[in-house]
A and B are shown apart, each in its own frame.
Chain A
Amino acid sequence: MNNSDCIIKISNLAMNFHTPAGDIPVLNGVNLEIHKGESLAILGPSGSGKSTLLFIVGLFLTPTAGSYVLNGREIIDIDEKNKAEFRRNYFGFVFQSCNLIENSTVFEDLEYPLIYAGIPPRERKERIDEVLTRVHMGHRIYHRTNLLSGGEQQRVAVARALVNRPHVILADEPTGQLDSENSQNIMDLFLECISDKKTALILVTHDHKVADRCAKTCYFNGGTLTEVA
């Protein structure tokens, strides 16, 4: 893989949470490189800092030290407004559960990222139809999200992560609440989505069967990441 394919390059990342009860060191010299079309699974025990790393990558947290280069640009010190812009242009998020907005329909939910990105109304419907078809939820477009099953909700969440055509999908235990059949379905979707070789996937999980489907697997240990062959 050549260097121009590199979307994320993180080096020597450290994260300490300052709390009244003292500092909690969570990340300690994390190095990570993600290329287009790549899929990375991050494994590790609970509390090891997997979500923290994902939140730093997704620009929700500012690390204590280190460097974070996104698409060739150092972004460790950008302000909140730029962070929002990077978030909507580069990332699609899928969380473990409750991904969807209460009291809304599938269409309304998927419309939000497009609204924030300033996509004109005419184009929104097209884009939403397209991603919903990809996750096989096209027939549920005007349904209330709270009436969908857990697996269907996660599929809609995947669709929403894709609707803004992100460079990287960040998924924090997206299959954590699903049975193994639904988990494999979601993984099928993810891998299909990055098969265009443009999008990358970073996925946090503690399910080895899920991790095995990714091209690369890393293991969290003592605040650092080690790649598993």
Chain B
Amino acid sequence: MINVRDLLRIGTRQVFRHRNRYYGGILAIALGTCGFIVVMTMGRDIKMNINRDLDLLGGATMVKVTFRRDMPSCVKSFFKQDTVDAISRLPGVNIVSLSAMKNLYASTFLREKEFGFVLVGVDDAFWTASSFTPKSGRFFSIEDVTERRKVCVLGSVLANRIFGNLPALGQSILIDCDYYEIIGFLEGTGVGDMNQFAFLPITTAVDRIDCMTPKNKLYVRCRTWDDVESVASLIPGTVRQFQSDNGLQVDVARAQLKYIKKIAWWIQLFVFVSISATLCLGATGIWYGMMTAVRSRTREIGLKKAMGATNHDIMAQFLTESLCLSIGSTVIGTGLGWLIMNIIGALIHSSPVHGLFIASVMTSITISVILGVAAGYYPSAQAARLEVISAVRFE
């Protein structure tokens, strides 16, 4: 019985010497593994990114939670900080933003002209939660909110209406008897009619502006589409832990969600079908390579049997070669996957999850062992069964 060290040494040597025969299979398995690892490791991050982008069009991962204002019993209800904190800790919640609105039109004067607009108080999380980026300047920082600074962000259409072509960034604007510094402008996809609004830090607004509604509107941004339903269903119970849920309204964009999930499902199906197809292709490549190897190496097999190799030894040798091939290809694929994973990570600004990477490498090694055995078994059995005389006879 041949020992394992010799088996491995000879197996790798043979694969290396006959490598030309196997390039196709190696490439296919390496690519399949690479794709598998990237999809497994980065899938969630990529999904979050696609999700964020698609969401600018549909807002499908946004759950809007409000206290209804058309019921006298809850017209003064607002979200307590404990409630907000608890909701932001729910599984699947990415970010939570709290806001309030001025009941009536706010207004400002410039060169003796009056301009009316909607005034909204928001926290620093609002912009990230809504995936807004400033057209110029910046949005509220946490200090703006905690220190109740007198700063303001204008929707770009509103800014244009008031200032025309004059530079507005850094200017002061009068709202309800107070001056606020303009620090940024809002514009872009998904902004909608908010480009006609003015924004103040919610703390500042509650302090200084008359007729603000209570802090009765929560934007809950979920991590992925799959999280939306569970988050929405958990919210009422979470609210009840800290306050009454009378008049609480949870809005989910179900139609968009369904549509986006469908698209995502097809994308995922497509990706997994391509990866499995690649892996199968690799296995077929190895199988074919091993079959031709057995055929063109009948002489070798016969000679080895003449040297005293048992059927078992021959079978073990060919199976080892097959395993070396599939595992080797997987190792190459893992390296490639690691590289691509880091490149994608840098592109979408997220670091790959270490645990997921390890898990997907483990899975691919397991798959490759299965592939190796599956692809190598039949050819190896053929090799082992080969009659010695037919192998050593033709001369």
Contacts and interface: CB of A to CB of B under 8 A. Distances in A.
Interface of A: 51, 55, 58, 60-61, 80-81, 84-85, 87-89, 91, 93, 95-104, 108, 112-113, 115-118, 160, 164, 176
Interface in B290-312: 297, 299-300, 303-312
12 contacts: A51-B393, A60-B306, A60-B389, A84-B313, A87-B305, A87-B306, A88-B309, A93-B306, A101-B304, A112-B304, A115-B6, A116-B307
Contacts of A108: 13
Contacts of A87: 305-308
B395 A88 contact: no
Nearest to A80: B311
A18 to B, nearest CB: 14
A10 B220 CA distance: 92
| Interface class of chain B by DSSP | helix
Q: Which of B2, B13, B304, B310 has the most CB of A within 10 A?
A: B310
Contacts of A113: 307-308
Given A99-B303, A103-B18, A116 B308 contact: yes
B388 interface: yes
Contacts of A91: 306
B18 A84 contact: no
A71 B3 CA distance: 28
Interface string B1-29: 11100100010011001100000000000
Contacts of A93: 306-307, 392
Contacts of B304: 101, 112, 116
> Which of A60, A81, A87, A113 gathers the greatest number of chain B CB atoms within 10 Å?
A60
A88 B308 contact: yes
Nearest to A84: B310
Contacts of B388: 55, 60
B18 to A, nearest CB: 7
A209 to B, nearest CB: 21
Interface residues of B, number: 29
A128 B6 CA distance: 16
Contacts of A103: 14, 17-18
Interface in B307-341: 307-313
A95 B308 contact: no
Contacts of B299: 98, 102
A97 B388 CA distance: 15
B252 to A, nearest CB: 66
Contacts of A58: 306
Contacts of A102: 297, 299-300
A112 B309 contact: yes
A60 B305 CA distance: 9
Contacts of B311: 80-81, 84
Contact of A160 (B3, B307, B312, B389): B307
Centre residue among B3, B6, B300, B307 by max chain A CB count within 10 A: B307
Contacts of A115: 2-3, 6, 10
Closest A-B pairs by Cβ, 4 of them: A88-B308, A84-B310, A113-B307, A93-B306
Q: Which of A84, A99, A108 has the largest number of chain B CB atoms within 10 A?
A: A84
Contacts of A60: 305-306, 387-389, 392
Contacts of B6: 115
A118 B3 contact: yes
Nearest to B311: A80
A102 B387 CA distance: 19
Nearest to B2: A115
Given A51-B393, A84-B310, A102-B297, A116 B2 contact: yes
Contacts of B308: 84-85, 87-89, 113, 116-117, 164
B58 to A, nearest CB: 61
B349 to A, nearest CB: 50
B372 to A, nearest CB: 21
Given A80-B311, A113-B307, A115-B6, 9 more contacts: A58-B306, A80-B310, A81-B310, A81-B312, A88-B307, A95-B306, A95-B392, A98-B299, A102-B297
A107 to B, nearest CB: 12
Given A89-B308, A160-B307, A101 B3 contact: no
A185 to B, nearest CB: 20
